[in-house]
């Protein structure tokens, strides 16, 4: 089974002084332990997350990919790198720097490592400029967060950005970040377990229920991380609400389930039954292998869940493991 993993992260080996150019107190930087194999993503003095070498060292990444038989992997920023809350020009400079570092990482094995760019989403004009620049520089698409503070994907500026990506044939991956919490999710990684899937569902529903999908060109290649979060499991609830309440359907002319052909999802759901539901809801042509490697909440044996999915036929499994991503990101599948 050929595998293209379309959802993985990198963090560049930038030190504290480098990050301080954006923000001395909060900008993320990488602290590498003396052995070189582990470290921490830091914010100021505080550890944000313990990490391992595959995150910043492409040789270590390739070793891990070889171990699990992944032919190609698409890397993107760790969401803490987005920089959306900074002044737009400073954020644009930061994004360009991170994007150049992503390409440096991929240059180690350019046929097998591809990158998605980040953009200064708080300024639609600068975001469009960076997306186009990155596309020309070699990025195979962009990754954006699912919201900008109180603005969701149906915000007119975000729709403008998505339309730009459609017009320039730039694929977009939406990743949840900055999870909703009112203080009740302090422990046990609850923001990642409860709020993250809801953030992703919110991103999808904001595009559907606002009618934004009616305005965004059909040519937009759009994907959501983590199997679309809570979306597939709760689609019946949303359809029922659309049928029964006029305030749900007021901006959305068609039943929500009719919009599943407007986007893709990755396969990172960690349960065979969930994957089966996801494929039934989205169709095998709209699910792509994605692992969230090399983080602890990612699939440790990339593609193992898919390899064990005996309810899929060979053709479906092949599309999910590599074919769909090859088409979506325009990657040479013969590698």
Cβ 9 to Co ion shortest distance, Å: 6
Cβ 79 to Co ion shortest distance, Å: 7
Toward Co ion, which CB reaches closer, 130 or 292? 292
Does residue 155 interact with Co ion by CB under 5 A? no
Q: What residues contact 20, with CB distance under 8 A and at least 6 apart? A: 27
Please give the size of the binding site for Co ion, defined by CB under 5 A. Answer: 1
Cβ 335 to Co ion shortest distance, Å: 23
x-or-dash string of contact with Co ion, 238-277, rule CB under 5 A? ----------------------------------------
Cβ 291 to Co ion shortest distance, Å: 9
The answer to whether 225 touches 192, Cβ cutoff 8 Å, is no
x-or-dash string of contact with Co ion, 284-303, rule CB under 5 A? --------x-----------
Cβ 289 to Co ion shortest distance, Å: 13
Number of continuous H segments (helices) and E segments (strands) in the chain: 14, 13
Toward Co ion, which CB reaches closer, 53 or 292? 292
Residue numbers 159-178 binding Co ion by CB under 5 A: none
Q: What residues contact 288, with CB distance under 8 A and at least 6 apart? A: 4, 6, 7, 223, 264, 265, 266, 267, 320, 324, 325, 328
Toward Co ion, which CB reaches closer, 36 or 296? 296
Q: At what angle do helices 124-137 and 88-106 cross, to 10 degrees?
A: 20
Q: What residues contact 319, with CB distance under 8 A and at least 6 apart? A: 284, 285
Q: Which of 105, 154, 93 is nearest to 129 (CA)?
A: 93
Toward Co ion, which CB reaches closer, 143 or 324? 143
Toward Co ion, which CB reaches closer, 178 or 292? 292
Judged by the rule CB under 5 A, the positions of this chain that interact with Co ion are 292
């Amino acid at each position: 089974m050929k595998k293209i993993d379309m959802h993985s992260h990198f963090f560049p080996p930038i030190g504290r002084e480098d990050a301080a150019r954006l923000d001395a107190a909060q900008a993320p930087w990488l602290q590498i332990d003396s052995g070189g194999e582990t470290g921490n993503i830091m914010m100021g003095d505080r550890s944000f997350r313990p990490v391992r070498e595959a995150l910043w060292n492409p040789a270590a990444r390739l070793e891990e990919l070889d171990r699990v038989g992944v032919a190609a992997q698409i890397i993107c920023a760790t969401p803490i790198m987005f920089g959306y809350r900074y002044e737009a020009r400073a954020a644009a400079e930061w994004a360009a720097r991170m994007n150049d570092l992503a390409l440096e990482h991929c240059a180690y094995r350019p046929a097998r490592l591809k990158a998605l760019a980040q953009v200064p989403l708080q300024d639609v004009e600068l975001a469009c400029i960076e997306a186009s620049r990155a596309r020309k520089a070699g990025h195979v698409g962009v990754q954006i967060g699912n919201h900008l503070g109180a603005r969701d994907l149906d915000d007119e500026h975000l729709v403008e950005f998505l339309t730009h990506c459609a017009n320039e044939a730039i694929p977009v991956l939406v990743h949840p970040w900055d999870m909703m919490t009112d203080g009740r999710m302090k422990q046990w990684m609850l923001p990642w377990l409860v709020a993250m899937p809801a953030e992703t569902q919110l991103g999808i529903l904001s595009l559907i229920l606002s009618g934004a999908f009616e305005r965004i060109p059909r040519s937009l290649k759009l994907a959501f991380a983590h199997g679309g979060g809570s979306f597939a499991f709760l689609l019946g609830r949303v359809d029922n609400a659309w049928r029964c309440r006029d305030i749900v359907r007021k901006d959305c002319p068609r039943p929500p389930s009719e919009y599943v052909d407007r986007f893709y999802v990755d396969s990172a759901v960690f349960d065979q039954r969930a994957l089966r539901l996801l494929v039934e809801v989205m169709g095998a042509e709209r699910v792509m292998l994605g692992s969230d490697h090399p983080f602890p909440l990612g699939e440790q044996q990339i593609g193992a869940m898919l390899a064990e999915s005996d309810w899929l036929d060979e053709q479906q499994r092949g599309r999910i493991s590599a074919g769909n991503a090859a088409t979506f990101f325009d990657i040479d599948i013969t590698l």
